[in-house]
Amino acid sequence: MDITLKSGDIFLTKGPGLISWLIRFCSRSIGEKRTKVNHAGVVATEGTLKTAEIVESVAVARRCLLWEHYGPRSKNAVAIYRPLNLTPDQVAVIVATAERQVGKKYGIWKLAAHFLDWLLLGVYLFRRLANNGDYPICSWLVAYAFSKARKNFGVPPGAAEPDDIWDFVNKHTDKYMCVHPLGQLRE
């Protein structure tokens, strides 16, 4: 595929494993359609699917090649969205904010806070109490970086889940363009 990714693009993934499934299950609201994605990140440097670098939070927040982790050997489905309403300065703020998270350990206890809020039917209580930037989770990293450029996904950064980002970018097609639909990355 001959796709050029740009700094500030958002990628969302759907993983095949149990943890991925649990994240999708617990981020579904009552009456909402099945959740499609369980992970999010930001494109840090422009490039092709093979050369673009991303920032994401897994066991630790890291900067790496998108293709290296989500290319053909991966069983993850990937969707990529391009913000249409950002200035170059806003893109620079988003990328710099995301990159400041690199090296920080994953906020596993924040997942527990998301789960507890899910048990309370989505109330933003435990996530608000656990809102600490020292231990980022993937959706917080994306939502927080965008909030620094005065953009949001319809929820506070600490409440953001990959599904919230997915719903927002798909609902606001005037602000986000799908660059790669949810599916496996291919050559």
The HSE-up count of residue 159 (CA atoms within 13 Å, CB side) is 14
Q: Minimal CA–CA distance to 167: which of 12, 41, 8, 55?
A: 12
Residues 36-77: pLDDT tens digits? 999 999 999 999 999 999 999 998 999 999 999 999 999 999
Which range marks the domain in which residue 170 is found? 4-183
Residues 148-174: pLDDT tens digits? 999 999 998 888 889 999 999 999 999
pTM exceeds 0.85 for this model? yes
- Alpha helical stretches, state H, 52-161: 66-70, 88-99, 108-119, 126-129, 138-147
The number of folded domains in the chain is 1
Identify the CATH number of the domain in which residue 88 sits: 3.90.1720.10
